[in-house]
Amino acid sequence: METTHRVVVGDARSLASIDDESVELVITSPPYPMIEMWDELFAELDPAIETALEAGDGDEAFSLMHDQLARVWDEVSRVLVDGGIACVNVGDATRSIGDRFRVYQNHARVATDFESRGFDPLPDVLWRKPTNSAAKFMGSGMLAPNAYVTLEHEHVLIFRKAGGSRSFEPGANRRYEAAYFWEERNRWFSDLWSDVTGELQQLGADGARDRSAAFPFEIPYRLCCMYSVYGDTVLDPFWGTGTTSLAAMCAGRSSIGVELDEGLVSVFDERVGEVQSMATDVGRRRLARHRDFVASRRDEGASLSYESSHYDFPVTTSQERDLRLYSVESVERERLPSGRRYRLDHTPLAAE
């Protein structure tokens, strides 16, 4: 199996290099409006945003920031296949503008923007992010009524482009090989993810990106497995440090990433150097967890009804029998005038 991964240096508000209806899945985490670290970026996209912030008009700044994101959602709608899925990880923002403190509900505005483009909202996920702070309250501490609930979660919003569920040929091998284990489904399709930790990302001595609790690998990897099959293409229009591409590589999907900062694209070559060992490790951990699940069920006196076609263990349902994981055998790099392209050969991951 071969996958192709393209990284484009450019503005996601115009995805002219991507054909209509050529992407099956979108996974992204955009800059969060009304988070101060992104003020400068949004102001560069629309100077009226800086004017609104300086005037103390938080509502106007919030609206204008989302207007810029909405131009990307227009492109997402164009390039997604009918029935394709878009997953958007976004957090809300708390901020004082002038003499007003409030929460800016980014997730609600993103949901409204997708619905207005004909997407059907699906049940979403709350990602509860661990915090190490012992003094995490905001406001007046122990004195009512002016303390505030601390935001310790982000949203993974999930939308389906109009057109109904995707259809496949009966018995399509790539779909059955891309199945997930029964116990994985029970964990992944919960509406609360509290077992996913953030990541510290420090790239380059020039401080190209230095922020904690960034988009962790586990989120796009799960979403790739949940909402796509082998052979699909995954797009991240806010590519950042390339985590979605890494997840797609390890999951045996092709990918396209779009990123404004050429420096981040250059640094990504270092991360690709780890993808062979990373894909093998991810696959072996999934197999090991399933073996632990089988052992636990047997200890409880239960039996699993079906035998895996490719591995030396039973599975719970008939849909899991042809499940097969892949490792990365080789990586071929190609420098493009406006980015990078990677071709990966995948080979079935053998049982240990």
**Contact between 94 and 150 (Cβ < 8 Å):** no
pLDDT of residue 129: 82
- Same domain for 311 and 190: no
- Same domain for 163 and 310: no
Burial class (CB in 10 A: 0-12, 13-18, 19+), 205: exposed
pLDDT of residue 134: 53
Nearest to 28 by CA among 247, 349, 346: 247
> Distance of CA 63 to CAs 45, 74, 151, 329, 343, Å?
13, 16, 21, 47, 40
- Same domain for 175 and 231: yes
- Same domain for 49 and 19: yes
**Contact between 184 and 165 (Cβ < 8 Å):** no
pLDDT single digits (tens) 134-161: 555 667 677 788 888 888 899 999 999 9
Band of the pLDDT at 171, cuts 50, 70, 90?
low
Q: Which domain holds residue 312?
A: 289-316
Band of the pLDDT at 172, cuts 50, 70, 90?
low
pLDDT of residue 99: 86
Tell whether the model's pLDDT for residue 127 goes beyond 60.
yes
Task: Report how far residue 311's alpha carbon sits from residue 245's, in angstroms, rounded to the nearest whole number.
Answer: 27
- Is 140 within the bounds of a domain? no
Band of the pLDDT at 173, cuts 50, 70, 90?
confident
Q: Report the DSSP pairing between strands 254-259 and 2-9.
A: parallel
Work out the average pLDDT over 50-77: 97
- Is 37 within the bounds of a domain? yes
- Same domain for 311 and 262: no
- Is 141 within the bounds of a domain? no
Query: How many C-beta atoms lie closer than 10 Å to residue 296's C-beta?
Result: 11
Domain count along the chain: 2
Nearest to 24 by CA among 241, 218, 239, 223: 223
- Same domain for 174 and 305: no
- Same domain for 113 and 52: yes
pLDDT single digits (tens) 252-270: 999 999 999 888 888 888 8
- CB burial readout 242-254, b (16+ within 10 A) else e: bbbbbbbbbbbbb
Band of the pLDDT at 56, cuts 50, 70, 90?
very high
Nearest to 232 by CA among 85, 8, 23: 23
pLDDT single digits (tens) 89-124: 999 999 999 888 999 999 999 999 999 999 999 999
**Contact between 3 and 345 (Cβ < 8 Å):** no
pLDDT single digits (tens) 194-245: 988 755 444 343 444 444 336 799 999 999 999 999 999 999 999 999 999 9
- Same domain for 334 and 233: yes
- Is 108 within the bounds of a domain? yes
- Same domain for 303 and 227: no
- Same domain for 218 and 129: yes
**Contact between 331 and 275 (Cβ < 8 Å):** yes
- CB burial readout 271-289, b (16+ within 10 A) else e: bbeebbebbbebbbebbee
HSE value, Cβ hemisphere, 13 Å, CA-based, for 259 = 23
- Same domain for 293 and 178: no
pLDDT above 90 as % of the chain:
76
- Same domain for 301 and 239: no
Residue 297, both tokens: 């069920």
**Contact between 255 and 231 (Cβ < 8 Å):** no
Residue-averaged pLDDT of the chain = 90
